[in-house]
Structure 1
Amino acid sequence: MSPIFLAAAFQADAAGGLDFGLAIVAAGLAFAAAIALPIGALFGIWLRPAQKWTATIMAFGAGALIEALALELAFHGAESLIVHHRMDAITAWLYVAFGFLLGGGLFLLGNRMLEDHGGHLRKPSLVRAYIARNRSHLQDVLHRLHIDHLPRLHINGIHHLRQAEHVAVAQEGQRKHGGAPFAIFLGALLDGVPESIVIGASVTAVSLATYNPSFVVAVFLNNFPEAMSSAVGMVRGGFSPVRVMVLWGGLMAGCTVVGALGYLLMSGASPEAATFVNAVAGGGILAMLAATMMPEAFEEGGPMVGIATILGFLSAFLFTANGLA
C-alpha cells in the first residue's frame, strides 16, 4: 500500500468521510502481516531448512510477538484507560487481566475441539501432544497389569497389545487425515484471527504520522517461522505441496478479511471495550505461543533458542522505542 493511499484514507476518516477507506487500510495491514504465511510455507516446503534453524527462527518470532503483547496490547491498553480516561489502576488492570484469561481459555477450548477432527495436524508439536494423550490411557493399563502377576498366556497377549498400540496410532492418523484439511484451516485461522483483529482495531482513531507498525512487524516475524515449520510437518504427514500452499494462501486471505472486520467492528467502540477486546485477542495469541510455538522451538533447537527469543523481543522493541521518538 502506498503512503499516498494511506494518507488519503486517514484524512477521509478525520473529515468524517468514508469508513470503507480505513477498512481497506486495515485489510492491507493485516495482509502485510499474513503474507508471511504462504512465504514461510514455501520456504519450508522447497528449502527444507534444518530443524535447528527452523527452531531458532521460530523462537525469534515468538520473542517479537511477546514484546508486542506486553507493550502494544497490555501496557498501552491499560495506559489508555488510566491516563486518558481517568480510570484507576486496579480497574484498568482487571480489564486487561480478564481479557487475557478469557482469550487464552477460548483458544485452548477451540484448539481442543478441533483436535478431534484433525486440526492438530497443522503443527508438529500438537501432533506429538495428541499422540501422547491418546497413548496415556493404554500405557496406564499396561502399567497396572504388572508382568509378574500374570500367567504366560496373558503376558503374550500384552506383548501383542503393545505392538497393536503403534498400529492403532498410525491408523488413527490415517483416519483423521481424510477430513483434516478443513480442520487444519480452522485451526490455523484460530491462530491468526486474534492477531488480525488487533491489527484491524489498531487503525481506529490513529493518523498516518503516529501509526506504529511494531505489532504488524511482530506478527510478520512470528508468522514466517510458524508457517515454515507447519508446512514441513504437513508435507511429512502426507499432504501435497500444492495442497499445503492453497491452505496457507487461504489463511492469508482469511486474515486479511478479519483485519477489515476488526476495524469495522471496533471503529465506534468505547475505550473500555477496545481495551478488553484487544486483551482477549492478546490472551489467545499468548496461549498459542505457550502451547505450540515455544515448546516446539525448545524441543527442536535446545537451550540456545532462549537467546533467539531475546533477540526477537529486542528487535520488536526497537520499533516500539522508535515510535516513542
Structure 2
Amino acid sequence: MAWWALIWGLVSGASLLLGAAAGWWLKLPRVAVAGIMAFGAGVLICALAFELVAESFETGGLLITALGLICGALLYFFANRIVAKRSRTPGSDSGNSLAVGALIDGIPESVALGVGLVAGGAVNPAMLVAIFISNIPEALASTAAQKQSGKKAGGIFLLWGSVTVVAGVASWAGFALLSLTDPGWTAFAIALAAGGILTMVADTMIPEAWAVEHDFTGLIATAGFLTAFAVHTIA
C-alpha cells in the first residue's frame, strides 16, 4: 500500500510537468490561465469540505480538526510570506519563486493523498482530481516566466521533475508515517494539510484568477466545485 501512495503522489505531481510543457510550447493567454486557476480553486474547496475536513472530524473530532486547520494555515501563511519577500528582492527570479510556491502547495496536498490511503484504504478520487487540476496553472505561469528570463528548457523541466518526485515522496511519507500512529495523529495531519491548502486557495489561487478574469472567476470556481462534487458523489 505504501508503494501505491508513492505512485499516486507521482501521478498527481505529473500535472506539474504538463503545466510546464504547456508554458514552454504554448502561448496561452493570461485569461485562460486565470480560468484554469479559478476552476482548480473550486475543485479544491469542494475536496476540502467533503473529503479532508470531514474525514478529520470523523476520525479525531472537532478539537483535533480545528488545531490541525489552524496549524496548517499558519504554516502556509509564514512559508508563503518568505517566498513573497524573496520575490520582491531585486534580481530575484519570479519564475523560481512560483516554483517554490508550488512546492509549498504540493507537499501538504501530496501528504493528504497518502493520509487518505491510511484513513480510507484507497486514494481519494476527488482530492486526486483537485490536485491534478490545480497544479497546472502554477507550473504553466512559472515556466512562462522562466522562459522569458532566458532559462534553458533542460533546467526548467529538471526543476519541475524534482518537484514531482518530492510530491510522490511526500505522499509515501504521509502513508508510511501515519500508518504507524494512532487515529488522532492521522486526523491532525489530514486537517493540517487541509488548512495549508485552504490558505493557499484564499491567498493565491482566487486572488490571482480574479486579478485577470474578475468578471467570471466566481462562476468558473463554482463549476469546479460542482465537478468535484460530482466526482465525490459518484465515487
**Could you state the TM-score of these two structures normalised by the residue count of structure 2?**
0.91
- Note the residue ranges of structure 2 that are not aligned, 5 or more in a row: none
> Structure 2 CA distance, aligned partners of 1:240 and 1:46?
13
**Pair 1:77 & 2:56 matched:** yes
> Which residue matches 2:224?
312
> Structure 2 CA distance, aligned partners of 1:297 and 1:195?
20
Deviations 1:209-242 (A, max 9, x none): xx54111111101111221122223333443333
Larger radius of gyration: 1
2:62 to 68, 89, 93: 93
> Structure 2 CA distance, aligned partners of 1:296 and 1:237?
21
Deviations 1:95-129 (A, max 9, x none): 2122111111111112222444x4x4xxxxxxxxx
State the aligned residue count.
Answer: 235
Cα-Cα RMSD: 2.1
> Which residue matches 1:12?
none
> Which residue matches 2:110?
196
> Which residue matches 2:40?
61
> Which residue matches 1:148?
none
Deviations 1:38-90 (A, max 9, x none): 11111122112111111111111111011111111112221334xxxxxxxxx
**Could you state the TM-score of these two structures normalised by the residue count of structure 1?**
0.67
> Structure 2 CA distance, aligned partners of 1:189 and 1:239?
19
2:77 to 91, 108, 118: 108
For residue 204 of structure 1, give the secondary structure of its aligned residue in structure 2.
helix
| Seq. identity, % | 34
Cα distance, 1:270–1:238 mapped onto 2, change above 3 Å? same
> Which residue matches 2:140?
228
Contact 2:16 2:164 (C-alpha < 8 Å) held by counterparts? yes
> Which residue matches 1:322?
234
**Pair 1:36 & 2:15 matched:** yes
> Structure 2 CA distance, aligned partners of 1:30 and 1:233?
26
Deviations 1:174-221 (A, max 9, x none): 2x349x85x66544321110011111111115445xx54111111101
> Structure 2 CA distance, aligned partners of 1:222 and 1:272?
29
- Note the residue ranges of structure 1 that are not aligned, 5 or more in a row: 1-21, 82-91, 121-129, 131-171
For residue 243 of structure 1, give the secondary structure of its aligned residue in structure 2.
helix
Tell me which amino acid in the other structure corresponds to 2:28: P
Contact 2:115 2:189 (C-alpha < 8 Å) held by counterparts? no
